[in-house]
């Protein structure tokens, strides 16, 4: 793919005010993941690999869709999966870890457990964010660093020799919380192994901008300190018995006030002078066993620096298909904006292949299509050109979702159907992929793709709030979507009549292009006609 990318890019970049040549690992110096972490930017600034499921960062109170914000908010923990750029409710952020250097007076109950009581300020000026790496110091003088592989986060906590907690000597306690960023837990269970300190568990949560629920699993192992004792917590109380905890939906403490619950492992002071404890957290949507085996396979030896180096290499390889030599008048901040934007276009969709509990398939499974009504004209246009291998895997996954759920998504997250915004814009990215990179689209089933497009264009789903298009009868007969549309054929938000009209027209134009290329000339003519219906807006 490299050769083709370079050819395509040379022609694109020659239109930009650059001449070609900035490349290799040098690129990473121009990436600032913290851009967009103020004023509601909602971006994920933490450690991850291109399009990977594991995304580790410090989570904060308040402005927290991407987990972290560059403001004065307090840190509630460190979690292992995130989305980037969600505008509405936060998502993911499941099973955060939270470290404490010691409990005041060495009494377990003097440690803090619940999210609202443990939230702690950061030390100003300590945040460091680079591709594959994130670090911050807590006001408790604990320095937290993190890096990731595809399904595993690796944290390195450096503890102070003397804890800030009163009358405490160094005896680090790390808890894992059965919560997520939106506090959407429906139920969950957790188990701590008294011998190894391993904490594992599962929880059922709600997606941020869709319907249904999803279940996630995690498996946390530790290195660097001998296990002193273990147990569970509920509210702000903890004990060393039992070792298991199950919380069901209790009918009182429903979202957003879920009951604080989780497990903890306490260590003797780390055995060497660096005062470090490493925490390795594998995640899965299949089972606890798979979360553990993901972690054991991907990070067998807790080698933080090796995982970090591999992550940097993955980003260098991914972004290295682009070369830039700054021309005159191109200062370093403009280059930072450019490379940081390219970097950010490779965070989502996320590769959950092998982690889809909904159906068994040999096709790739990607999730976090946030949301196709935006991404069709932004990141996917770029991914198609700079990383066609990933684009094709994402498109195969969309078609497989159609195969198993009957419809292409307009948005999808956390294994759930996301809400539509009016159009069926997967039609656009599938057509774009066909027209631009069909010759290298190994594994695409274009006949099924075309059938999926026709389903969007012809069949109204019962719930067009989450798939397909509403008002199709009006579209076919009146040639526009009226306000107050008479549509007894399905349910959805009966609003946006103008934008739906314009979007259906563009979606149908794309279907016409695909039909033409596939040799379905009658269809091509039909959808080309329908693509002109936007002209009926305002023609009362
Ligand atoms: C952060 O936590 C500190 C105490 O640890 C508290 O004094 C402060 O009000 C909190 N800040 C916010 C924004 O909640
Ligand atoms: C840290 O910076 C914030 C502004 O981002 C400021 O409000 C806060 O007072 C600072 N905290 C300390 C301890 O200096
Ligand atoms: C991580 O996943 C990507 C596909 O999303 C794959 O290309 C890559 O090889 C994986 N990395 C490892 C170390 O398995
Ligand atoms: C610390 O220990 C001293 C001596 O035992 C005691 O007087 C004091 O109350 C303790 N402080 C706290 C905050 O627990
Ligand atoms: C948790 O909730 C999910 C979804 O409602 C349900 O399928 C599952 O059985 C529940 N598990 C427990 C342990 O209650
Ligand atoms: C101390 O232990 C940590 C965690 O296992 C390890 O990363 C570090 O290299 C060790 N430091 C020394 C000086 O041995
Ligand atoms: C606790 O959880 C572990 C791991 O899931 C399981 O093997 C064990 O049976 C559980 N014990 C109890 C008492 O529920
Ligand atoms: C860099 O160049 C851009 C575009 O010309 C300009 O807006 C910006 O102020 C410059 N930044 C610096 C630090 O000079
Ligand atoms: C997929 O296959 C596995 C292994 O055969 C099985 O345990 C699982 O239930 C299957 N999942 C679905 C959704 O059919």
User: Cβ contacts of residue 425 below 8 Å, gap of 6+?
Assistant: 372, 373, 376, 410, 503, 507
pLDDT, mean over the chain: 93
Determine the distance separating the centroid of ligand 7 and the alpha carbon of 191, expressed in angstroms: 7
Give the number of the ligand closest to the Cα of residue 367: 3
Per-residue model confidence (pLDDT) at position 258: 84
Closest ligand 5 atom to residue 187 Cα is: 1
Which of these, 216, 210, 211, lies nearest to 185 by C-alpha position? 216
Measuring from each residue's beta carbon to the nearest atom of ligand 1, which residues come in under 6 Å? 61, 72-74, 119-121
pTM here is 0.93
Closest ligand 6 atom to residue 223 Cα is: 5
Mutate to test the pocket of ligand 5, among 187, 217, 244, 259 (most ligand atoms within 8 A of CB): 187
Contact 365, 400 (CB under 8 A): yes
Mutate to test the pocket of ligand 9, among 214, 215, 360 (most ligand atoms within 8 A of CB): 360
Instruction: Encode pLDDT of 30-52 as tens digits.
Output: 999 999 999 989 999 999 999 99
Determine the distance separating the centroid of ligand 4 and the alpha carbon of 167, expressed in angstroms: 6
User: What SS3 state is found at 309?
Assistant: helix
Instruction: Encode pLDDT of 148-200 as tens digits.
Output: 999 999 999 999 999 999 999 999 999 999 999 999 999 999 999 999 999 99
Determine the distance separating the centroid of ligand 6 and the alpha carbon of 270, expressed in angstroms: 9
φ and ψ of 202, to 5 deg: -150, 160
Mutate to test the pocket of ligand 1, among 69, 76, 121, 165 (most ligand atoms within 8 A of CB): 121
Contact 484, 474 (CB under 8 A): no
Helix intervals (H) in 125-171: none
User: What SS3 state is found at 451?
Assistant: helix
Burial letters for 278-297: b for 16+ Cβ neighbours within 10 Å, e otherwise?
Answer: bbbbbbbbbebebbbbbbee
Per-residue model confidence (pLDDT) at position 1: 31
Give the number of the ligand closest to the Cα of residue 184: 5
Determine the distance separating the centroid of ligand 6 and the alpha carbon of 274, expressed in angstroms: 6
For the beta carbon of residue 511, count every other beta carbon within 10 angstroms. 29
Burial letters for 239-254: b for 16+ Cβ neighbours within 10 Å, e otherwise?
Answer: eeeeeebebeeeeebe
Closest ligand 5 atom to residue 189 Cα is: 13
φ and ψ of 218, to 5 deg: -145, 165
Closest ligand 6 atom to residue 273 Cα is: 13
Measuring from each residue's beta carbon to the nearest atom of ligand 9, which residues come in under 6 Å? 359-360
Contact 387, 318 (CB under 8 A): yes
Is the per-residue pLDDT at 458 higher than 90? yes
Determine the distance separating the centroid of ligand 3 and the alpha carbon of 484, expressed in angstroms: 49
Whether 124 is in the pocket of ligand 8, judged by its Cβ within 6 Å, is no
φ and ψ of 238, to 5 deg: -135, 155
316's tokens: 């260098």
> In 54-193, where do the E strands start and end?
55-60, 75-79, 97-100, 128-130, 133-137, 143-148, 152-158, 173-177, 187-192
Per-residue model confidence (pLDDT) at position 25: 66
For the beta carbon of residue 234, count every other beta carbon within 10 angstroms. 16
Whether 331 is in the pocket of ligand 2, judged by its Cβ within 6 Å, is no
Per-residue model confidence (pLDDT) at position 23: 64
Sign, CA dihedral 232-222-66-124, equals positive
Domains of the chain and any CATH numbers: 24-310 (2.70.98.10), 348-539 (1.20.1050.60)
Whether 279 is in the pocket of ligand 6, judged by its Cβ within 6 Å, is no
Give the number of the ligand closest to the Cα of residue 332: 8
* Cross-strand pairs, 367: 350
Per-residue model confidence (pLDDT) at position 250: 67
Q: Over pLDDT 90: what percentage of the chain?
A: 87
φ and ψ of 104, to 5 deg: -50, 135
Is the per-residue pLDDT at 6 higher than 60? no
User: Cβ contacts of residue 512 below 8 Å, gap of 6+?
Assistant: 523, 524, 525, 526, 527, 528, 530, 531
Helix axes 2-13, 379-386, angle to 10 degrees: 130
Closest ligand 5 atom to residue 248 Cα is: 14
Instruction: Encode pLDDT of 273-316 as tens digits.
Output: 789 999 999 999 999 999 999 999 999 999 999 999 999 999 99
3-state secondary structure 236-275: CEEECCCCEEEECCCCCCCCCCCCCEEEEEEECCCCCCCC
Instruction: Encode pLDDT of 201-237 as tens digits.
Output: 999 999 999 999 999 999 999 999 999 999 999 999 9
User: What SS3 state is found at 36?
Assistant: coil
């Amino acid at each position: 793919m490299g050769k083709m990318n370079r050819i395509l890019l040379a022609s694109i970049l020659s239109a930009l005010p650059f001449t070609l040549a900035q490349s290799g690992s040098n690129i990473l110096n121009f990436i600032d993941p913290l851009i967009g972490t103020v004023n509601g930017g909602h971006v994920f600034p933490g450690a991850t690999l291109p399009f990977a499921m594991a995304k580790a960062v410090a989570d904060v109170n308040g402005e927290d869709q991407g987990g972290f914000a560059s403001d004065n908010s307090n840190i509630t923990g460190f979690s292992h999966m995130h989305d980037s750029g969600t505008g509405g409710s936060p998502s993911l952020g499941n099973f955060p870890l939270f470290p404490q250097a010691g409990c005041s007076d060495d009494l377990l109950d003097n440690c803090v457990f619940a999210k609202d009581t443990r939230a702690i300020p950061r030390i100003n000026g300590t945040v460091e964010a680079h591709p594959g790496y994130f670090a911050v110091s807590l006001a408790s003088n604990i320095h937290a660093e993190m890096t990731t592989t595809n399904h595993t986060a690796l944290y390195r906590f450096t503890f102070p020799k003397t804890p800030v907690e009163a009358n405490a000597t160094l005896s680090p306690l790390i808890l894992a919380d059965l919560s997520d960023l939106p506090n959407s837990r429906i139920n969950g269970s957790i188990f701590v192994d008294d011998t190894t300190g391993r904490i594992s568990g599962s929880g059922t949560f709600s997606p941020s901008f869709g319907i249904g629920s999803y279940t996630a699993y995690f498996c946390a192992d530790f290195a660097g300190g001998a296990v002193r004792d273990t147990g569970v917590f509920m509210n702000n109380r903890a004990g060393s018995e039992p070792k298991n905890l199950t919380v069901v939906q209790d009918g009182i403490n429903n979202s957003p006030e879920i009951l604080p619950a989780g497990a903890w492992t306490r260590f003797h002071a780390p055995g060497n002078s660096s005062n470090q404890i490493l925490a390795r957290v594998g995640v899965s949507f299949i089972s606890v066993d798979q979360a553990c085996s993901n972690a054991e396979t991907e990070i067998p030896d807790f080698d933080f620096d090796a995982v970090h180096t591999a992550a940097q290499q993955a980003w260098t390889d991914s972004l290295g298909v682009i070369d830039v030599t700054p021309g005159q008048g191109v200062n370093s901040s403009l280059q930072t904006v450019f490379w940081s934007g390219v970097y950010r276009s490779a965070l989502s969709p996320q590769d959950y292949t092998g982690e889809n509990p909904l159906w068994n398939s040999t096709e790739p499974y990607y999730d976090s299509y946030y949301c196709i009504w935006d991404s069709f004209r932004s990141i996917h246009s770029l991914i198609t050109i700079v990383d066609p291998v990933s684009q094709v895997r994402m498109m195969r996954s969309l078609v497989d979702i159609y195969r198993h759920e009957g419809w292409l998504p307009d948005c999808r997250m956390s294994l759930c159907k996301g809400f539509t915004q009016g159009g069926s814009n997967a039609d656009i990215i599938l057509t774009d992929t066909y027209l631009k990179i069909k010759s290298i689209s190994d594994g695409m089933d274009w006949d099924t793709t075309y059938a999926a497009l026709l389903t969007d264009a012809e069949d109204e789903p019962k719930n067009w709030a989450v798939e397909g298009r509403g008002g199709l009868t009006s579209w076919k007969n009146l040639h526009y979507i009226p306000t107050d549309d008479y549509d007894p054929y399905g349910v959805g938000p009966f609003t946006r009549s103008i934008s739906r009209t314009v979007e259906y027209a563009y979606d149908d134009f794309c279907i016409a292009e695909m039909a033409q290329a596939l040799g379905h000339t009658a269809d091509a003519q039909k959808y080309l006609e329908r693509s002109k219906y936007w002209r009926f807006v305002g023609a009362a």
